[in-house]
Structure 1
Amino acid sequence: MAERRPYIHPYIPNSVPTVRKSMLDAIGAADVEDFYADIPDAIRLKRPLDLPVPLHSEAELTRHVEGLLSRNTSTRQLLSFLGAGCYQHHVPAVVDEVVNRSEFLTAYAGEPYEDHGRFQALWEYQSLMAELLETDVVNVPVYDGFQATATALRMAARATGLTRLVVATAIDPDKLSKVADYVRPGHELVVVPVDPATGRADLAAVREGLDGGDVAALYAESPSYTGLIDPALAQLGEIAHAADALYVVGCNPLSLGVLAPPSAYGADITCGDIQPLGIHMSFGGGNAGFIATRDDEDLVAEYPSRLFGLVPTAVEGEFGFGDVAYGRTSFAIREEGKEWVGTAAALHGIAAGVYLSLMGPQGMREIGETILANTAYARGRLADVPGIEVPDPDAVHFADFPIRLTGSLTAERVSEELLRRGILGGTPLADSRALLFCVTEVHTRTDIDRLADTLKEIAQ
């Protein structure tokens, strides 16, 4: 039998035997296995990975990938009422035009002299967000809103020297899982159940949760996971400060054209996800997290992420844009950093900056009013469907809102039947008879009427 020739990958140069040998010789290793010698034998996989057969040509690879992509169904193909943290919004064409420019799209890292305006673009983003949030300091985006929330709570713990963290409003179970994992070393996370009938914060239970002191932060969301604008948000801030805790509030930044920013009702740290600000839905993304505070030295020192500032140069009238207090970041002090940020979602920050520039105060107000109106209309239409109950009908919701099935149907069955009819929605909640729906500015009244009529047909 002829000797089997080693497979040489067309895209991986070091798969060529002579190249591999020269690399091993250069570092004095006999085999790639030498690199893994320290890994205990008991935890090593002793069989080949279950990988597909290698594709030998670019044409084959293209056909394979296109076949995989064709199996996806996007919100452009179906009518979607999914939300719960990743939202379908209109993205103006100019946003894509700007972020797809090579000086932004391919600029992974670098310094001001080589970044072709990237630092300035991110400074502009921070400035626009600070105006929207009515804060002084906003970070360069971290991975997503989940990380921003967890990092904001860790910042509060470091700033206060305390370790207890209390959650007061309804929160996405996936976000809670991420936060719990992120703050677990050395912190206690206490989740106060909300009123099951309304989804509102239980103020008495929150006060009880803060008894005994030692609370670094009280966390609330506006809107909450179920889209509720809790009327007790200002009271929660007062309760937090009375217990000498910091008040951390997560918010949807797109709502701030019509709703007061968290800083207006006592938030010390505001956080969230900028996905609604001109960033396309993409397989559950794209996401980027923001953190904002007043210009308080103790709080600014706890930001693990990059901050860009404006400084005068030797040339009168010209300015530069660069890192503020770079020495506090993990980029500068590596393993000694308070947290590791690594690759940020800075490109999404530039997209959000372009979006905010285009919208302006009036545009943000109009889109906020549209979403509030659509949400109220959708809640009213679905409340009229037999077998559906909309909790707390007088409450104000933004984009997301829950329904409860009162008949024999389950949430899973309703979702399946909606999908059969070309509609995505809603997101299952912990209660097997509850679903979370979402409407934004892209939904028309005709879309909402279709959802209500379809649900009525399913319920019959």
Structure 2
Amino acid sequence: MSTRVPRTHPYIPNSAPQVRKAMLAEVGAQDVEEFYADIPAALRLDRPLRLPEPLGSEARLVAHMEELLSRNTAVPPGRSFLGAGCYRHHVPAVVDEIVNRSEFLTAYAGEPYEDHGRFQALWEYQSLMAELLAVDVVNVPTYDGFQAAATALRMAGRATGRRRLVLVGAIDPDRISRIRDYVRGVHELVLVPADPAAVRAALAEGDAAAVYAQLTDHDGRVDQELPQYIELAHQAGALAVAHVHPLSLGALTPPAELGADLTCGDLQPLGIHPSYGGGNAGFIGSADDERLVAEYPSRLFGLVPTDVPGEYGFGDVAYERTSFAVREEGKEWVGTAAALHGIAAGVYLTLMGPHGMREIGATILANTAYARQRLAEVPGVELADPRAVHFADFTVRYTGERTAAEIAEALLARGLHGGTPVGADEAGAREGRYCVTELHTRADIDRLADALEEIVK
């Protein structure tokens, strides 16, 4: 490969050496690398990207991208049993039709006088989510459910003035990583098993800002002890933060009705397509408590009367809280990149209604129970926790000679995606995670069971 000649990009001013030098001098930095100092060294690339020579025309670039994209393989819904945070659910056509309208798709951060409709759409979303969560206040979405969890915990810390955060049960390791990064230097994380005695012991050490627990955990278990965790948090003067899968609330009691102070989670199941592991947005809900509302870093939209009788407008509530208003003095930095997903979720909830949400929640519970029962009938497969009730996700244990990774690979060769190895040692793991939703039929689940009978030895 020939030596690449440095060039200045025509549309990126800071690619010009003299401009970059002036910008660094203005902020007092010696090098761009200083801006990445907070990123752990293990996650940073210590070499330039291995990129091909620039393509000389738009036509060649399009042809190149089309060739790359043609390598993707679509998996029918009934053959994918992947979940654990990113799920395949039915997305009504109306959702896509509305969110792809230009006034929503291109409206990034406008104001009411130039952006008619978006503020109302987000207010409608907040109202629908508040009904689902049984709360009074819901934020404009954060980037994803991981950030929503971390932000809810930071809110609890600011509201209580305390330091320790008690995290309960089996939590997605990636979510723990995001939380740890978001609260480091401010809060101490204490991870305990899903057991009231362990929570009580952690709280006995004092200075707890919050107890963070899940209605359904990373393995899909419905935690029957959630009411106890909430009560223990309040007895210790801490706030109770509950993480939920939003579709589960069609069949399960919202944590707010059990006394949770903050409820958080990911919007992806509510009318948002999974997109290469993405398509996420986070929600946080609470009572209309001034102490908590003051700690929301993201935008809140409210309904206000106008000068015209019977006519209403929609605008920011307590805008001075946000980083939009106070910039670097904000309690946290937030953006509006996930607002479109909030509109999608609002449309989805409108179409489903209370009856539809109850139906889909009950369907997923029933499908999960059938899948667990059917796979447990396969010789060499047993349920990791046979007594628990599961929603969508569940784990099985293989008792034969083949590892979870080998079984997942054999399933993939048959066109089935599932059985993700569980545990830090994926190569030697003997447990695999599966997921079913309302899109899976009994025939789909039976096909998976029949394949496992051929594979598991």
| TM-score (structure 2 length as normaliser) | 0.91
Distance 1:327 1:70, change over 3 A: same
2:202 is aligned to: 209
SS in 2 for 1:272: strand
Distance 2:59 2:99 in 1: 29
1:361 is aligned to: 354
1:162 is aligned to: 162
| 1:234 CA displacement | 0.8
Match of 1:451 among 434, 443, 448: 448
1:342 is aligned to: 335
Match of 1:258 among 241, 251, 260: 251
SS in 1 for 2:166: strand
2:212 is aligned to: 219
What amino acid maps onto 2:336 in structure 1? T
1:45-60 equivalences under 5 Å are: 50-60=50-60
Distance 1:48 1:454, change over 3 A: closer
Distance 1:414 1:365 in 2: 35
Q: 324-333 vs 75-84, which deviates more?
A: 75-84
Match of 1:276 among 248, 261, 269: 269
| 1:110 CA displacement | 0.8
1:101 is aligned to: 101
CA contact (8 A) 1:78 1:424 kept: no
Distance 1:32 1:268, change over 3 A: closer
What whole-Å deviation, never above 9, does each CA across 1:361-380 have from its counterpart, x for those lacking one? 11111111110110000000
Distance 2:196 2:77 in 1: 44
1:67-106 equivalences under 5 Å are: 67-76=67-76, 79-106=79-106
Distance 1:220 1:452 in 2: 32
Distance 1:46 1:394, change over 3 A: closer
CA contact (8 A) 2:271 2:345 kept: yes
| 1:75 CA displacement | 3.1
Distance 2:282 2:46 in 1: 40
Distance 1:391 1:134 in 2: 33
What whole-Å deviation, never above 9, does each CA across 1:277-317 have from its counterpart, x for those lacking one? 00000010100000000000000000000000000000001
| 1:342 CA displacement | 2.2
Distance 1:35 1:328 in 2: 29
TM-align CA RMSD: 2.5
What amino acid maps onto 1:96 in structure 2? D
CA contact (8 A) 2:222 2:388 kept: yes
What amino acid maps onto 1:437 in structure 2? Y
Distance 1:275 1:48 in 2: 34
Matched, 1:377 2:374: no
What amino acid maps onto 2:445 in structure 1? I
Matched, 1:325 2:318: yes
Distance 2:276 2:261 in 1: 33
Distance 1:410 1:60 in 2: 44
Aligned residues: 439
| 1:212 CA displacement | 2.3
1:196 is aligned to: none
Distance 1:50 1:353 in 2: 42
2:431 is aligned to: 434
| 1:76 CA displacement | 3.3
2:120 is aligned to: 120
Q: 39-48 vs 158-167, which deviates more?
A: 39-48
CA contact (8 A) 1:83 1:427 kept: no
1:399 is aligned to: 392
Distance 2:229 2:305 in 1: 41
2:39 is aligned to: none
Q: 268-277 vs 423-432, which deviates more?
A: 423-432
| 1:428 CA displacement | 2.0
CA contact (8 A) 1:330 1:341 kept: yes
Distance 1:30 1:188, change over 3 A: closer
SS in 2 for 1:424: coil
Larger CA Rg, structure 1 vs 2: 1
| 1:6 CA displacement | 8.1
| 1:5 CA displacement | 13
What whole-Å deviation, never above 9, does each CA across 1:343-374 have from its counterpart, x for those lacking one? 34000000000000000011111111110110
Distance 1:105 1:376 in 2: 39
Distance 1:445 1:336, change over 3 A: same
CA contact (8 A) 1:84 1:427 kept: no
CA contact (8 A) 2:108 2:337 kept: no
Q: 314-323 vs 29-38, which deviates more?
A: 29-38
CA contact (8 A) 2:77 2:439 kept: no
What amino acid maps onto 2:107 in structure 1? A
Distance 1:286 1:46 in 2: 29
Distance 1:168 1:13 in 2: 51
Which portions of structure 1, spanning 4 or more consecutive aligned residues, are displaced by more than 4 angstroms?
Answer: 4-9, 29-49
Distance 1:264 1:414 in 2: 42
Match of 1:387 among 372, 380, 395: 380
Distance 2:420 2:258 in 1: 30
What amino acid maps onto 1:388 in structure 2? V
Distance 1:42 1:252, change over 3 A: closer
| 1:55 CA displacement | 1.2
CA contact (8 A) 1:159 1:302 kept: yes
CA contact (8 A) 1:140 1:344 kept: no
Q: 407-416 vs 44-53, which deviates more?
A: 44-53
1:198 is aligned to: none
Distance 1:386 1:298, change over 3 A: same
What amino acid maps onto 2:433 in structure 1? L
Distance 1:172 1:332, change over 3 A: same
CA contact (8 A) 1:215 1:243 kept: yes
Distance 1:42 1:278 in 2: 39
Distance 1:202 1:48, change over 3 A: closer
CA contact (8 A) 1:169 1:219 kept: no
For structure 1, which runs of at least 5 residues remain unmatched after alignment?
194-200
2:305 is aligned to: 312
CA contact (8 A) 2:78 2:444 kept: no
| 1:427 CA displacement | 2.4
